[in-house]
């Protein structure tokens, strides 16, 4: 099945800083999603982005399907952005395969 790798595993930012999270996948994808898991465990959909670029407020994502990677940009980070960011993808199967996540801590 498809393999999903994320980097960096951990990230500490000061409030107001920008960051880029990366997701590499091993095969062609039909679906790629970014999630934020907050400290209470909730998995929140950020983007459905199998290709192209999308923006939602301070967050944006770009997937370059031909080169098998996706990037999540967080600008002007806030403490509420803390948590774990997951990239997940499907190949020919419909189930999402998750990466191991990037744990982000935003400090004052």
- Cα–Cα distance measured from residue 51 to residue 56, given in angstroms and rounded to the nearest whole number: 16
Give the DSSP H/E element, type plus range, for residue 37: strand 31-37
Of 104, 89, 103, 108, nearest to 30 by C-alpha is 89
Site for another protein in 55-94 (CB under 8 A): 86, 88, 90-94
Shortest approach of another protein to residue 39 CB, angstroms?
A: 13
10 lies in the binding site for another protein (CB under 8 A): no
Per CB under 8 A, the segment of 14-22, 25-33, 52-60, 64-72 that binds another protein is: 25-33
| 33: β partners | 48, 88
> Residues in the site for another protein, rule: CB under 8 A?
30-31, 33, 35, 41-45, 48, 50, 86, 88, 90-98, 100-101
């Amino acid at each position: 099945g498809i393999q999903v790798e994320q980097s960096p595993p951990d990230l500490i930012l000061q409030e107001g800083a920008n960051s880029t999270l990366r997701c590499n996948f091993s095969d062609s994808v039909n679906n790629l999603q970014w999630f934020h898991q907050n400290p209470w465990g909730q998995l929140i959909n950020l983007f459905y982005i199998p290709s192209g670029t999308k923006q939602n407020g301070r967050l944006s994502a770009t997937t370059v399907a031909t080169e098998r990677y996706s990037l999540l940009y967080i600008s002007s980070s806030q403490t509420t952005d803390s948590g774990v960011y997951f990239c997940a993808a499907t190949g020919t199967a419909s189930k999402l395969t998750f990466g191991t996540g990037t744990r982000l801590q935003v400090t004052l």
